[in-house]
Amino acid sequence: MTLPVRKETLTLHNLRAMGADGPAFFLDTAQRLGPDFRVGLGPITLTVLSSPATLQQVLQKQAKVWGRGSAIDGVRPLLGNGLPMSDPPLWLTQRRTMQPAFHRSHAPVWADVVREATTPTLEALTPGERVETKRLMMRITRDVIVRAMFSQSLGADPRPIDEAFEVVEDFIATIAVNPLSLPLWVPTPLHRRFQAASAFLHARMQALIDERRAQAAPPMDLLTMLLKATDPDTGTGMTDAQLRDELMNIFFAGHETTANLLTWTVALLPRHPAVLARLRAEVDAAVGVRAITADDVPKLSYAAATLREVLRLAPPAWMFVRQALEDTELAGQPAPKGTTVTISPYATHHLASNWAEPDAFRPERFLDETSIDAAAWKYRYLPFGAGPHVCIGNHFALLEATVVLALLLQRFEWTLLDEGPLEPKIGATLSVKGGVPVTFTRRR
């Protein structure tokens, strides 16, 4: 079997389409040619995968063969060799070492952290004031991850951190949609800003590590758990450099992706009033006016289904790459060492061959997971990746989003200030163009 190739009169046409709307370009091509295909982009050719069978081959059956390799070297100055960036044997060591810190047994603490970090920001909202949802959610999820990691805030002025991450997002957005990006060593203005932002963020993380190591009775937060964590086989802990890399990955992935999930949710719910009404009724019945706790989260099944449906329609990680670490094969064809493939969760989530009415917003499809063959579902739904490299923080992210959404529904109604079509904004993750401006009105 030969993978079909999307050919245009000029492959620069494909390059422009990719830059304008990468998710739609991959989906359109998958619908025209089939879920796995090759596409010319200027002088290069991408291999794009979105069929469940091929994804299972790459992400599970041959996970040891298809790793990160050098395909993501562009962001290593920021993220180093953290868990999402590494391959075996380092990946296996880090996964075993870090897994206990992300176990579901920590849910009661997580729920309290999310509630306590979110409530002051929501209480400070002024009814009727124009609010850009993306900025609001970035602030909330930043405060949550900082509280969870470090048991503290970023201080009186968190703007330098926020500004550094805006630079990072601009850089990743550029390389995500432009495979012809210049190497990082070329001193363009964006490259210089990215390298300066990375150095600043590394210094802040190292200062927090140094401060924590000097404490006689440190708080039992994520940083302390990782400082104490050891490989169960060797008893070895992490070096400062490795710990800093892991903290950078958790901090970056731990607030950007969840902020986008919540932003899309706020944008979609007023467009689907029946879903919104059912959500409000569920939160009112399960929580009422009291403080939400971890014990309430299992009662919010429709909220969880709604968030999963938003992740299906608008997966923050709309694409990612894998590289062959040794000679192998793909779809019956040779794939020499160094072969890079692009995986498109967005296309997988929107293909009619994988989902009934794929463009419809129907949270009900996630209410009865027992009706779906578990193995097949994993590879046609992958907002957190799939296989052994599935995101280690997926349970934390879903619990965080559920608690924040419940707090929002408990306290507010909101009105969209722009009811036009939702347009994606391609950055480090998939966000909404315009940031979703709204006004909030207190319910109680």
Q: What is the token pair recorded at 375?
A: 């193995």
Q: Is 214 exposed, middle or buried (0-12, 13-18, 19+ CB in 10 A)?
A: exposed
Are the beta carbons of 315 and 358 closer than 8 angstroms? no
Q: What is the C-alpha R_g of the chain?
A: 22
Is the per-residue pLDDT at 259 higher than 50? Answer: yes
pLDDT at 438: 97
- Quickly name the fold that domain 5-434 has: Cytochrome p450 (1.10.630)
Pick the most confident of 79-83, 235-239, 268-272, 426-430: 268-272
pLDDT at 358: 96
Is the per-residue pLDDT at 155 higher than 60? Answer: no
Are the beta carbons of 334 and 327 closer than 8 angstroms? yes
Positive or negative torsion for Cα 94, 96, 98, 103: positive
Pick the most confident of 36-50, 83-97, 130-144, 224-238: 130-144
Mean pLDDT of 6-30: 80
For residue 335, give Cα distances in angstroms to 19, 50, 332, 340, 353.
27, 17, 9, 9, 26
| End-to-end C-alpha distance for the chain, whole angstroms | 61
Tens digit of each residue's pLDDT (9 = 90 or more) over 295-349: 999 999 999 999 999 999 999 999 999 999 999 998 878 899 999 999 999 999 9
Tens digit of each residue's pLDDT (9 = 90 or more) over 363-380: 999 986 544 445 546 789
Tens digit of each residue's pLDDT (9 = 90 or more) over 100-122: 888 888 888 899 999 999 999 99
Supply the mean pLDDT for the chain. 88
Q: What is the token pair recorded at 35?
A: 């879920």
pTM value? Answer: 0.91
Identify the weakest region by mean pLDDT among 18-22, 27-31, 86-90, 193-197. 18-22
pLDDT at 431: 92
pLDDT at 373: 44
pLDDT at 8: 61
Identify the weakest region by mean pLDDT among 61-70, 179-188, 352-361. 179-188
Instruction: Walk across the sheet containing 66-67 and list its strands.
Output: 5-6, 37-41, 44-49, 340-343, 320-324, 66-67
pLDDT at 72: 75
Write out the DSSP string of 252-273.
HHHHHHHHHHHHHHHHHGGG-H
pLDDT at 64: 92
Indicate the pLDDT class of residue 7, thresholds 50, 70 and 90: low
Tens digit of each residue's pLDDT (9 = 90 or more) over 367-418: 865 444 455 467 899 999 998 888 888 999 999 999 999 999 999 999 999 9
pLDDT at 156: 55
Query: Among candidates 176, 197, 120, 189, which has minimal Cα distance to 153?
Result: 120
Are the beta carbons of 142 and 255 closer than 8 angstroms? yes
Are the beta carbons of 265 and 437 closer than 8 angstroms? no
Q: What is the token pair recorded at 350?
A: 């929107």
Q: What is the token pair recorded at 99?
A: 């897994």
Spatial neighbors of 397 by CB under 8 A, at least 6 apart, are 254, 257, 258, 261, 384, 391
Q: What is the token pair recorded at 276?
A: 């919104």
Tens digit of each residue's pLDDT (9 = 90 or more) over 158-172: 778 888 888 888 887
Indicate the pLDDT class of residue 248, thresholds 50, 70 and 90: confident
Which residues are bridge partners to 335 per DSSP? Answer: 328
